Amino acid sequence: MKGGGESPVVSPGGTRVGKYELGRTLGEGNFAKVKLARNMTTGENFAIKILDKEKILKHKMIAQIKREIATMKLIRHPNVIRMQEVLASKTKIYIVLEYVTGGELFDRISNGRLKEDEARKYFQQLICAVDYCHSRGVFHRDLKPENLLLDSNGVLKVTDFGLSALPQQLREDGLLHTACGTPNYVAPEVIKNKGYDGAKADLWSCGVILFVLMAGYLPFDDSNLPSLYKKIFKAEFSSPPWFSSGAKKLIKRMLDPDPLTRITMAEVIENEWFKKGFRPPDFEQSEICLDDVDAVFDNYMAPANVVTEKRDERPVPMNAFELIATSQGLNLGNLFEKQSAAAVKSKTRFASKHPAGEIVAKIEEVAKPLGFAVQKNSYKMKLQGEKTGRKGHLSISTQVFEVAPSLYMVELRKANGDTLEFQNFYHSATARLRDIVWEPLAEEKPQVVSM
């Protein structure tokens, strides 16, 4: 990190964590919240994952969180989200991460499949990242397009190591035994729950991802979970006719239901289809020390370096750096331009000139008939859906930001659940929200903008 210089003044009502100024919420789960942050000294943007120690202890998640932090420290690769540092207070843990602005790889296929050369480019980066993780003894165990991000240059970044495994978790038989992951992407030996090789299981998931990138749909899909597993056990799938013969052969070998005969990572890297246009990343490897991982759970660790997040009983003001950060390519027109409903992703936002209280009331009015329970906290809301089969609970976080006097930006984002489920919610809710959406131009129709 660069040093020197005086820290800029924090905006009124802003929250500071050490040298970082916290901004808008980027994502939210059951046990963590991710916020945009700015280094007050350098001006660089980061994403800070905030975990509540009390919740971690209550749900006995200490080992899992320690493992995630240790994993992020171990991995220093251009295709993996980089952990900058870890801070701690008596009540919270703050994981400072690289901030990328290109969205999820899932977003690139939400409108259809990728061309083979483009899919291969992303697949090559994915394999490089996963191969490096394996060389460090790290097995991801939840690889899917939604956990693959893109930076502003289109470089792939693997993220979300919350379910990852380290060598310490191997049993006497040298195998992992915790069944985890996302059903459509999980290897058959993981489902059978008899022990599995983490590297072979990750490789299966990579094969599913390659298929999805090139086909635009899943190789194994069924609304009934036992039926889905049956297809996975038998590897019942067929490649579409536009796949090249080289791609078909590679995917077939990666989606071999027998891990003993499944292709290895080394064989994938030497595959002729894979090697086309391949350039391994050039980066320096450095020694990593894990001695301080335990320290983040120590109540006495530098509590003076952080602050408790403040609550403000009015919409949070959105400052300039946050506003610009929401617009891809620094084009503020992207904040309000209309996009097709098919392009909605895991987050959507709109502008409104209606009073903030009226906006909150309208969202609540729309959500309840759609089967969502509403939890309100000032101008933040959480919409909690009922459990829907294998997809679990869909929950949606909303927040009203004050951009200027009498102008508000409203953000709705998937906090938990499936992205496709969130898209279904979007289609149902959009029409009902149109009467509070601001029309920048009189001749334009009201619109909700996805990102």
Which residues are designated catalytic?
A: 142
CA distances, 232 to each of 79, 115, 220, 240 (Å) = 28, 26, 6, 18
Dihedral of CA 324/325/329/332: which sign? Answer: negative
- SS3 label, residue 87: strand
Q: Please report, as a single letter, which amino acid is at residue 8.
A: P
- Our measurement of the distance from residue 103's CA atom to the centroid of its chain's CA atoms, rounded to an integer in Å, reads 9
Q: Are 434 and 446 in contact (CB under 8 A)?
A: yes
For residue 216, what are its two tokens? 């635009």
- SS3 label, residue 222: coil
The residue among 392, 372, 393 whose CA lies nearest residue 382 is 372
Residues 6+ apart with CB under 8 A from 227: none
